[in-house]
Structure 1
Amino acid sequence: MSKSLAGSYISTPIQGKLALITGATGGIGKATARLFAARGAHLALHYFSQHDVAAALVDELRASGVRVVAFQADLGDFDAVRTLHEKVVAELGHPDILYSNAAMTGTALGIKAKIEDASLYEFEQCWRTNAGGAFLLTQLCVPHMEKQGYGRIVFCSSIATATGGVLGPHYASSKAAIHGIMHWVAKQYSKKGITCNAVAPALIANTVMFNSPTAAHRDLVPVGRFGQPEEVAQVVELLVTNSYMTDKIVTCDGGMLPSSLA
């Protein structure tokens, strides 16, 4: 492990574990991959279309001494999700950690939209990708986690699940569906050594989802600034290294909501 990535860390709870991160080419995905690599975790990095970004990230993280492989898949295509899992297992082994971070937003409708502005097609596509794809990957990863008595599952949610957000009902509802999956999995498998949690970010700069920040947006945040992908990654690290935290939705929003989500 290189000192530039690992810092003063020599041995950590996820060292040697295999983490599957979906949406690894986005701002939060990349930050999480870098942090996990610094902690000595091997990485299966999923991407949808940004092949060059994924390839560059693989080259960067392999310098830390961990195994890193990128895998392309459309998470809205359930056969592609199954193939993704098969390829990860064949090349790297079964994931010990699943961070379902990938998401599609659909058309950003804004706060003045009407419900008829959200097409049923986009509604279904958001649900297939954000909820369906995340559920299927969890379904595929859990049996091995249960068998070995260890597993960490984290979903990337959004505070839109509590506020409705500004993108539209297609996106907010698809993210809310993840919470139901999380609650069920956490309760069912907590005694099997598997924890299941979610992180709910808001107004995170340097991400595709929030690429045009304004002063008006900043004024919504009590801490007076936007969040950074690395700060979300730190929450994810907490959720995969703390074996006593499960069935929790932790907001990372600069104080916009008064507490974590139910």
Structure 2
Amino acid sequence: MDLGLTGRTVLVTGASAGIGRHTARAFAAEGARVAVTYRTGGARARALAEELGAAAGRALAVPYDLGDPDSVAAAFAAVERRWGGVDVLVANALRRGRRRPPGSRTEEVPAAEWQPLLRDNLEQTLRTVQLALPGMRARGWGRVALVSSHLVRDGAPGQEFYAAGKAALHGFARSLAWDAGPDGVLVNVVSPGLTRTDGVLADLPAEVRERERLRTPTGRLSAPEDVARTVAFLCSEANGNITGAVVDVSGGR
């Protein structure tokens, strides 16, 4: 299937590793120009941009820090200087934060710890979308994908505030679909289940991964490529009328 992405400009936040990295590759494989943003993984982002065709003007590594509003605006300015605007925004960057210590309670988490999680995962993500929308409306075509988390649905001890920030994106997308739809802009949420990224493989014990696999109807955890392909379709010309949706990529969990 031709996704109609040839010549489109895509900005993928948090693209130096994990799901974002594979998402950037998925768009590049479809002929799109890809801005690969990063906060700390500059070397990885630049290497990925080279892999995706930076020398031919098809990819660009751009700094982007959710905690720095100036950085968010600068990322869009860099893409506009190079390619004239953003057709597709994949808001994948996140701030996980410190897991609440065992035995502690939600009410014991100081505001200095949970407020930055909401500010970065919610407020700055919304600001990123705001910066993308004017150009999309002007061109009469645009796609936005907000990458969420299975924690919104499943929950997990110690993840209350991170999950709250991600859950808010669902409501935002549903209402934004009404506002932006008449201008040709479709906006959706992609909610990955536990995904076999390098970080998950390194940090999550094998017995936990196996337990989660056995609870999954397909009998396997999602690969990052599974999520990336879903994002690419939702953000393509092939998606003609799916908007305001939350699409789970979780093997049926």
The TM-score, its normalising length taken from structure 2, stands at 0.90
Greater RCO (Cα-Cα under 8 Å, separation 6 or more): 2
Once the two structures are overlaid, the 10-residue window that deviates more, 104-113 or 154-163, is: 104-113
2:60, 2:78 → 1: CA distance?
Answer: 10
The alpha-carbon deviation at position 165 of structure 1 amounts to: 3.1
Partner of 1:243: 240
Q: Structure 1 63/98 Cα, relative in aligned 2: closer, same or farther at 3 Å? A: closer
More helix, by proportion? 2
Which of 117, 124, 128 is the aligned partner of 1:137? 128
Conserved? CA contact 1:21–1:46, under 8 Å: yes
Conserved? CA contact 1:58–1:70, under 8 Å: yes
Partner of 2:142: 151
Q: Alignment partner of 1:90: what SS?
A: helix
After the TM superposition, list the runs of 4 or more consecutive aligned residues in structure 1 that deviate by more than 6 angstroms.
none
Q: Structure 1 253/119 Cα, relative in aligned 2: closer, same or farther at 3 Å? A: farther
The alpha-carbon deviation at position 209 of structure 1 amounts to: 5.2
Q: Deviations over 1:176-225 (max 9, x none)?
A: 11112211211111111000001000110124256324322323322222
Partner of 2:64: 73
The alpha-carbon deviation at position 133 of structure 1 amounts to: 1.5
Q: Alignment partner of 1:165: what SS?
A: coil
Q: Alignment partner of 2:135: what SS?
A: helix
Partner of 1:88: 79
Residue 225 of structure 2 is aligned to residue 233 of structure 1: no
Q: Structure 1 124/59 Cα, relative in aligned 2: closer, same or farther at 3 Å? A: same
Q: Alignment partner of 1:196: what SS?
A: strand
Q: Deviations over 1:59-89 (max 9, x none)?
A: 1111795611111121122222122222221
Q: Alignment partner of 1:105: what SS?
A: coil
Q: Structure 1 167/250 Cα, relative in aligned 2: closer, same or farther at 3 Å? A: farther
Once the two structures are overlaid, the 10-residue window that deviates more, 83-92 or 139-148, is: 83-92
Partner letter of residue 212 of structure 1?
L
1:53, 1:138 → 2: CA distance?
Answer: 25
The alpha-carbon deviation at position 31 of structure 1 amounts to: 0.7
Residue 240 of structure 2 is aligned to residue 223 of structure 1: no
Q: Deviations over 1:2-45 (max 9, x none)?
A: xxxxxxx8x64111000000000121111111110010000111
Residue 207 of structure 2 is aligned to residue 212 of structure 1: no
1:109, 1:217 → 2: CA distance?
Answer: 21
Q: Alignment partner of 1:198: what SS?
A: strand
Percent identity between matched residues is 33
Q: Alignment partner of 1:208: what SS?
A: helix
Alignment RMSD: 2.0
Conserved? CA contact 1:118–1:168, under 8 Å: no
2:62, 2:158 → 1: CA distance?
Answer: 28
Partner letter of residue 182 of structure 2?
K
The answer for unaligned runs of 5 or more in structure 1 is: 1-8, 257-262
Q: Structure 1 174/111 Cα, relative in aligned 2: closer, same or farther at 3 Å? A: farther
The alpha-carbon deviation at position 111 of structure 1 amounts to: 8.2
The TM-score, its normalising length taken from structure 1, stands at 0.87
The alpha-carbon deviation at position 116 of structure 1 amounts to: 3.2
Conserved? CA contact 2:150–2:194, under 8 Å: no
Conserved? CA contact 1:38–1:64, under 8 Å: no
The alpha-carbon deviation at position 113 of structure 1 amounts to: 5.1
Partner of 1:3: none
- The count of residues paired between Structure 1 and Structure 2 equals 247
Residue 7 of structure 2 is aligned to residue 16 of structure 1: yes
Partner letter of residue 130 of structure 1?
N
